[in-house]
Chain A
């Protein structure tokens, strides 16, 4: 049941009772909204009559809503794609309440699919409808940086909330991310997810900047190995204490030294070791020089 319609009805009883709903039906709506337990008779009324009336009212709301779009980052959107995006919003608005189109479809000549984000009460899932990649997520999850970033260039049928939930990653997570980013770069991966994530986290935590999809795409296409090394060093120095870094990374360097003997090809492992040595011993050396 569309919550917006429900709230409008509940707030304006005098408009809807008795013309559309009976007093009893209105009370059932109130109980349903407060998630109170309904009797069998009330449940029957809800499903056989009340929901159908709400659905009919909803159709007016959809017609109205179809003409309203909230466009974020309009300068970055290719005009023909904006028209397409509005059509997608119109099509899916009939079924879903709050949604937005985002991703490279809006700003890049080449794209694989169209990302359609659909806000729902809880849970996350992805589905495909032809070439439309449907991402169902809760409003809470929308606050995650990756989705806030997606919303920066988007076409929506509602005002997207501008609140970000920044969660500090663990050292282990960041190191894993760096390793995968280096591997992606060495393999010239076409869709380098980890490179994008590393650039994204660096901008978020070191510059307090939320990068949009276009910036991320351009930066991840150009970035070199040395720059990835720099990003992880700066991120770790920003997020963790010197002592903690020393203890954790020092141990991992020992592991890497062993692994370098065991594994071929190992140029990526050698690179990790060098970066980590520079991260912890470089700091000490520069301190010693200063003393």
Chain B
């Protein structure tokens, strides 16, 4: 799936105010069709309150609700919404970027191996 096409589908789900990380299109374009569709479906389920997320322990982020998901062997997604409000950001990243996102929100680094 082309990165732009994935973005368009996510705009339809979350509205046009959703933000993407810089490399989003690059990672989205690496996904095979089936995996890309699974990713979009997961986003849809999150927007319909069918997935479970968590509330960051860091005080500055306590108003957020965060969903993490392994999308492909080396691609991870983070979806962030404000509680009782809109989804604000979606990130598709490799291990390093994903770790940085997790650490920033106060979560443990992923273990890489075994993940």
Chain B nearest CB from A231 CB (Å) reads: 14
The residues of A that contact B57 with a CB separation of less than 8 Å are 171-172, 175-176, 248, 252
Chain B nearest CB from A155 CB (Å) reads: 16
**Contact of B100 with A by CB under 8 A:** no
In the complex the two chains form, is A135's CB within 8 Å of B108's CB?
no
**Contact of A59 with B by CB under 8 A:** no
Assuming A126-B95, A186-B52, A268-B52, is B65 touching A263 (CB within 8 A)?
A: yes
Please classify how large the interface on chain A is, using the bins under 10, 10 to 19, 20 to 34, 35 or more.
Answer: 35 or more
**Contact of B17 with A by CB under 8 A:** no
The residues of B that contact A14 with a CB separation of less than 8 Å are none
A-B contact count (CB 8 A): 85
In the complex the two chains form, is A126's CB within 8 Å of B74's CB?
yes
Binds B, one of A35-43, A89-97, A156-164, A177-185: A177-185
Chain A nearest CB from B66 CB (Å) reads: 9
CA distance A179 to B70 in the complex (A): 16
**Contact of A281 with B by CB under 8 A:** no
Please list 18 pairs of residues, one from A and one from B, whose beta carbons are closer than 8 Å in the complex, sorted by A's number: A124-B112, A133-B73, A169-B108, A172-B57, A172-B107, A173-B106, A173-B107, A173-B109, A175-B57, A183-B54, A187-B52, A191-B115, A197-B111, A255-B55, A256-B55, A259-B55, A262-B83, A262-B84
Ranked 3 nearest A-B pairs via Cβ:
A173-B108, A176-B107, A179-B54
